Structure 1
């Protein structure tokens, strides 16, 4: 297949490029002028196409002759106006779909997120499936716009363009330089992550980058995925605070010990979000604390992968222990724990 990967200079996108090459596919990587191309330039088989998701002509050129698009590019920053999130996550996806239709692309795999279903009013969500509805209110602009983009992708499914959405949760693994795991390791190394568990065990589904890539490649080759969304996770149901203690042990951090009632932190996060509605702050700077982040640490969220198993034969390839060993090995090769936890790559 000839594949186009958006977000190819990023964490998951880079692994998708490698996964496509390993499967024998030809790959075009869609990148920006400002993209860090150091890793992609180590892959001589990859063709680079430079275009923004707002560049209609650039997208038409990049999708010419393509069989499948893996759309992993998205605005995930903790700050920005609603117009910025909408332009990049929703309108950009619509333009890419339009280019795909004009050029006869036959497959479109959208990398979505369970965040598109996070409901501000819900409690623990355990082993939910794809029947879970979209919420009426979203935690943040990222969740809102990922949901809107996902719905447009699924609605675009047709006899000539098969579309689907995959929802990997908490993607982790080597070459993750700005995701949740290096941030949490950094906080523990600085002794700045309190215990917010309230004495409860919080379970979460996570998804190793290799498992996410495996699911994308399988979905692109299935005839049963048209117009559907799928949860994709690792095999394990993770004890969040237990994993944090393990990460502290592996990477020299201080495990969370100073207990703070989650309710008190939730009130504080709500106050911060209220202040961050001021455009001067919210459009330019990430807030120091959000209810969205707290929810990921204090509310159980696990997802069933039965539909992915049924429709395209998905089985997680990398177990958590193997993934942690590989992560530690990569960190040492790539500059050490201080660079990983401090973002100084």
Structure 2
């Protein structure tokens, strides 16, 4: 009998890839997400639902495993919005899945919980999280992760996957912001772009979630850091990306401390404006591009049988298959 999976956040880049991989692996897939038009094209049963307020029992009825990818992942927003989507919705979905007798719950967490104004090299799942979270996104995703891990039980195995900087053709978070910055002609680089970044191809990320369900008996109650395992200096990665799209913005090296100060000022101004527009640069962005963050992937290899297969060049080619005018 086919295993039945529910994928939340299925209309995002990771969700679309995971739905495809689950289908290819023989799962019967139910999906939910924000975009009904994309949902209708997924090749899965699509059920529209607001995870923060709608009854969730119909969504999880007959489901064996929940892949909870839905989140507010923007670097800028209100605390209430992050709390509702990243914590309350997770709590509600856990309760519904448990009541429906699902046997697995795989959660998309984030390595942003490690992010702070310093280099973090060779992070393992046991490395300390940031002394102070970089933003409300990181804080609420960690709160959601704790809820998920606390729910682990012999008949309800829960796993948290922390993918680093997912790159793929339907990305709505990382690549769009980089491309917008490229249009301005100048690209400020905190620390000159010497910090190491270790993104993951969306295909590898989806495979890690699938592996977590396959190995849920031994993976239950655990977190897993996953990345491309191919760290590159930020500037070198950006140069490859811009070459792919035919852009040559001028990189402007900015001392990291100054960039943090300017970003903090921009955030304070934006927070006072009625519409709270996202500032051009956030402190989180400065930490992401100005400091190194790399991971040790041993736990995912040893317990999930998972290793990354795609290098930076592969993921850029997959995300941007043709040269485009950014």
TM-score by length of 2: 0.93
- Give unpaired runs (5+ residues) of structure 2: none
- Give unpaired runs (5+ residues) of structure 1: none
In structure 1, C-alpha distance between the alignment counterparts of 2:259 and 2:42, rounded to whole Å: 45
> After the TM superposition, which residues 48-63 of structure 1 pair with which residues of structure 2 at under 5 Å, given as runs?
48-57=46-55, 59-63=56-60
Alpha-carbon spacing, 1:232–1:67, altered in 2? closer, same or farther (3 Å): same
Tell me, what secondary structure is at the counterpart of 1:224?
helix
Determine whether 1:316 maps to 2:308: yes
Quote the residue 2:37 is aligned against. Answer: 37
TM-score by length of 1: 0.88
In structure 1, C-alpha distance between the alignment counterparts of 2:93 and 2:118, rounded to whole Å: 35
Check whether the contact 1:116–1:143 (CA below 8 A) recurs between aligned residues. yes
Quote the residue 2:295 is aligned against. Answer: 303
Quote the residue 1:234 is aligned against. Answer: 228
**1:6 CA displacement:** 0.2
* Count of residue pairs brought into register by the alignment: 323
In structure 1, C-alpha distance between the alignment counterparts of 2:252 and 2:129, rounded to whole Å: 35
Tell me, what secondary structure is at the counterpart of 2:308?
coil
Determine whether 1:209 maps to 2:208: no
Identify the match of residue 66 of structure 1 among 63, 68, 71. Answer: 63
**Residue deviations 1:18-65, cap 9 Å, x none?**
111111110000134xx2423x43344x111121112352x1101011
Check whether the contact 2:75–2:282 (CA below 8 A) recurs between aligned residues. no
Alpha-carbon spacing, 1:41–1:103, altered in 2? closer, same or farther (3 Å): same
Check whether the contact 2:186–2:249 (CA below 8 A) recurs between aligned residues. no
> After the TM superposition, which residues 75-224 of structure 1 pair with which residues of structure 2 at under 5 Å, given as runs?
75-119=72-116, 122-176=117-171, 178-198=172-192, 201-222=194-215, 223-224=217-218
Quote the residue 2:13 is aligned against. Answer: 11
Alpha-carbon spacing, 1:235–1:257, altered in 2? closer, same or farther (3 Å): same
In structure 2, C-alpha distance between the alignment counterparts of 1:29 and 1:2, rounded to whole Å: 11
Tell me, what secondary structure is at the counterpart of 1:337?
coil
